[in-house]
Amino acid sequence: MRIGAIGAGRWGRNVVATLDGLGVLAAVAEPDEALRAAVHARHPGAELFAHHLDLLERPLDAVAIATPAATHFRIARDALLAGKDVFVEKPMTVSAAEAAELTRLAAGLGRVLMVGHLLLYQPAVQFLRQFLEGGEAGELYALHQVRRNLGTIRQQENALFSLGVHDLAVFAHLVGEAPCGVQAVGQCVTAPGREDEVAVHLRYPGGVQAHLTVSWLWPYKERRLVALATRGALVYDELAQTVTLHRAYGLPDGSVRDEGQELLMQGAGEPLRLELQHFTECVRTRGTPRSDGAQGLAVVGLMEQISAQLGGRVKV
């Protein structure tokens, strides 16, 4: 299999390296000359191009796109029309209309379209889903995700678009349906019109509620997902890479039962490698990716709803 990578910047270089490690990297397109030189030094076997259209003329099975979000639609569309299967990093596009067009185009051309929602390929997230489906903790009724740090403040996007896109994809994966209600609030601290902190509340038709809080102004790093169920709570600590079951819950009579806790899983996976392996397998078998175009479209549509509540500004 021959895959071309488009974009070799901050995240793109990881995609390039992973594709090379999988033995499928054939070419790289990157407009920045210094970045191309770095790719040549690390991956001398790959053909190099300054423009993605030149790469798309090569005999490739697929491409992986890791460029700025505003370019995703144009480059992915060019790739699909060139007959390539496409992996595109999150967010899929900057608008639901663009995401819908890519999804329709891929279906019409019979091409694989996969979106890089990385956390869906983290083994702990898959473990969470399977454990919840098994019913040992009872019925899921709420999800709480915090992703906070004193970190990089983006200039072209707010904290939600920088930090929370993956978490919205995880909510959809764990709940299994689209939300029917959205509420969002944010606070602009460092610059007008760019939220540094955002809180999102989602309601789902089956009764589950989900809460997401993101900030790049928090004094310490927190990356934690808590899944509350009727007979216990699952805590995924993303920093420690642990999943712990707390057998603690409330009863209808108002009493509380606490039967201790149990470490169910520990150890980090390699989600990017697993994600791109999944893509190559879908290209080989013509299978439907876990994070396909429809899933990517749902997340972009949800981001548009949240943007409307934050003043209607598109933040990518």
- pLDDT at residue 211 tops 60: yes
Amino acid (one-letter) located at 48: L
Pairing verdict, β 181-187 and 217-229: unpaired
* pLDDT given at position 134: 96
Do 207 and 260 sit in the same domain of this protein?
yes
Q: Quick check: 239 pLDDT over 90?
A: yes
The CATH number that applies at residue 34 is 3.40.50.720
Is 147 found in the same domain as 259? yes
pTM check: above 0.75: yes
Residue 227, domain member (yes or no): yes
| Three-point CA angle 285, 286, 291, nearest 5° | 110
Rounded to 5 degrees, φ, ψ at 163 are -110, -25
> Same structural domain for residues 129 and 253?
yes
- Residue numbers of the domain that contains 158: 123-268
Whether 296 maps to a domain, the answer reads no
Q: Is 134 a domain residue?
A: yes
Instruction: Band the pLDDT of 316: cuts 50, 70, 90.
Output: very low
pLDDT above 50: residue 315: no
Question: Residue 312 above 90 pLDDT?
Answer: no
Do residues 257 and 278 share a domain? no
On whether both 74 and 171 belong to a single domain, the answer is no
Answer whether residue 313 shows pLDDT above 70.
no
The reported pLDDT for the residue numbered 181 is 95
- Is there a domain that residue 193 lies in? yes
Separation of alpha carbons 109 and 80, rounded Å: 8
Query: How confident is the model over 15-30, as a mean pLDDT?
Result: 98
Q: Is the pLDDT of residue 176 over 60?
A: yes
Residues 140 and 257 in one domain: yes
* Assigned domain for 310 exists: no
- Low-confidence winner among 90-94, 109-113, 231-235 (lowest mean pLDDT): 90-94
Are 193 and 97 within one domain?
A: no
Residues 97 and 189 grouped into a single domain: no
- CATH number of residue 218's parent domain: 3.30.360.10
Split into its structural domains, the chain has a count of 2
Angle 289-238-194 from CA coordinates, rounded to 5°: 85
Question: Would you say residue 300 lies in a domain?
Answer: no
pLDDT at 208 over 80: yes
Q: What is the mean pLDDT of the chain?
A: 94
Question: Residue 314's pLDDT is what?
Answer: 46
Structural domain contains residue 301: no
User: What is residue 152's predicted lDDT score, i.e. its pLDDT?
Assistant: 86
Q: Which helix (H) or strand (E) segment is 260 a member of?
A: strand 256-266
Q: Give the span between the Cα atoms of 316 and 305, in whole angstroms.
A: 14
34 in a structural domain = yes
Single-letter amino acid, residue 27: A
